[in-house]
Amino acid sequence: MNAPLRTRIKICGISTQDTAAVAAEAGADAIGLMFYPPSPRHLELDQAAVIRASLPPFVTSVAVMVNPEPDYVRGIIEQVGVDMLQFHGEESDEFCAGFGVPYLKAIRVEGDTDLATRERNYPRCRGILLDTFVSDRYGGSGERFDWELANFGGEKPLVLAGGLDPANVRDAVTRVRPWAVDVSSGVETDGAKDAGKIRAFCRSVHQVASSQ
């Protein structure tokens, strides 16, 4: 896919209304709501519904899940009203596309991962999110992979994740030119979202577009 004129921004692992407001005001295009109990950023449905209802126009809400049960996905859709689903496990395209809501598919990248083949396995996804492979974690590790691997000539919009932070995201966007970037732990301090880091991250991404 051709490089976008402006790289979009998703702040993942949002857990409060205040942090969602900071992200939106800083220029984030989307927030990620975590529905994976082992994650420290996991939300109950009622918590997520309050955050979702507080979002201003044109900020997309994304439900992030790992190998969920179908009824759990349906409950999220019905009770929270998210705009997009994001799957980080071993889900199939048939499963991911079976809920009537657009979806992103995350692929955890190792050096020998055949990204072109993996992308083709998800023909109905709206985009492919590349994250760093860590054997015991599904995202949120704060570790980065070799960004050169992201330039595999994929046909879907590319979302770059894994180890991004305010200090390196400008370089990442310049080198990869992804459709979007996704950050969670890179804008945290002591495990909590840091308003200053969120603003700095968004500012760095926006500076790439303004310098073109």
Question: What is the set of active-site residues?
Answer: 12, 131
Of the candidates 137, 149, 153, which has an alpha carbon nearest to the alpha carbon of residue 109?
A: 149
Contacts of 96 (CB under 8 A, 6+ apart): 85, 87, 103, 105, 122, 124, 125
> Percentage helix, strand, coil, to 5, in the chain?
35, 20, 45
Q: How far apart are CA 52 and CA 24, in angstroms?
A: 12
Question: Which tokens sit at 152?
Answer: 């595999």
64 C-beta neighbours (distance < 10 Å), count: 30
